[in-house]
């Protein structure tokens, strides 16, 4: 089975632009979560989607949004980029929405904002 | 809010040495606890988990016991290998929420 696939692997944008990141979960997985990883703040939860519905959202401004499609693929969007948005964005998938379920992480998209 | 505090790194050990990475947590209710590992160039992987007090999670020679009285979940391995070199994250999730709260990560380097 293919793992969690995130595209693109690297991205360079300038302040004020917007960006869309993509995540394809493992086949059959219906839950997708997004995390931001930075050297200063570490790993922080962004949001989770299950069956096209946002189930939970972390403490991030409204510039960060996401969606999930009927095939479980997910996208996250960041508008009006700021320098502090430079980070590794990780996507994770799991088969269901049960608590304590193992998450399968992708290798991430490295976003640099200049 | 929930938080996880883990031992500052980096940690450098010789092959076959004993490893301990300390982790303590603060959470409402009864969280589930995890150790995730990030190998160089790879995504995060679940190493082990424990979902209630006194449970011991184990995998690949690593162990951690959920200690409610000390709010701790220390990671141990009796004999580390070069291939164990990675960043280790202590992690929790509370209640029915599926979001994970991560510690800051501990970089482990094992020398031959």
CB B29 within 8 A of CB B52: no
Sign of CA dihedral B52, B56, B62, B67: positive
Mean pLDDT, residues B33-51? 93
3-state secondary structure of A83: helix
Residue B29: pLDDT band (50, 70, 90) is: confident
Phi, psi of A54 (to 5 degrees): -75, 120
Query: What is the SS3 assignment for A107?
Result: coil
- Give the closest of B43, B46, B100 to A106, CB-based: B43
Name which of B43, B49, B102 is nearest A108 (Cβ-Cβ): B43
Query: Mind listing the pLDDT tens digit for each residue in B11-26?
Result: 999 999 999 999 999 9
pLDDT band at B37 (very low <50, low <70, confident <90, very high): very high
- What distance in Å separates residue A65's CA from the closest CA in chain B? 16
Tens-digit pLDDT profile for residues B45-101: 999 999 999 999 999 999 999 999 999 999 999 999 999 999 999 999 986 667 899
Min Cα–Cα distance to chain A from B102, Å: 6
Q: Is A109 helix (H, G, I), strand (E, B) or coil?
A: strand
Supply the Cα-derived Rg of chain A in whole angstroms: 13
């Amino acid at each position: 089975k293919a793992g969690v696939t995130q595209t693109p692997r690297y991205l360079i944008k300038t302040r004020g632009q917007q960006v869309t990141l993509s995540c394809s979960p493992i086949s059959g997985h219906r839950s997708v979560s997004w995390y931001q990883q930075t050297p200063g703040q570490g790993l922080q939860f962004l949001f989770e989607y299950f069956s096209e519905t946002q189930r939970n959202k972390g403490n991030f401004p409204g510039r960060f949004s996401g969606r999930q499609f009927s095939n479980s693929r997910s996208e996250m969007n960041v508008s009006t980029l700021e320098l502090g948005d430079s980070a590794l964005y990780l996507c994770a998938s799991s088969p269901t929405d049960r608590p304590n379920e193992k998450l399968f992480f992708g290798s991430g998209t490295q976003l640099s904002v200049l | 809010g929930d938080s996880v505090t883990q031992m500052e790194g980096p940690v450098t050990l010789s092959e076959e040495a004993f490893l301990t990475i300390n982790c303590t947590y603060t959470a409402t209710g009864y969280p589930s606890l995890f150790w995730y590992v990030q190998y160089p160039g790879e995504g995060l992987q679940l190493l082990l988990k424990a979902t209630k007090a006194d449970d011991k999670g184990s995998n690949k020679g690593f162990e951690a016991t959920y200690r409610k009285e000390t709010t701790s979940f220390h990671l141990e391995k009796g004999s580390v290998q070069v291939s164990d070199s990675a960043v280790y994250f202590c992690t929790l999730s509370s209640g029915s929420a599926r979001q994970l709260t991560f510690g800051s990560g501990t970089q482990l380097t094992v020398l031959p």
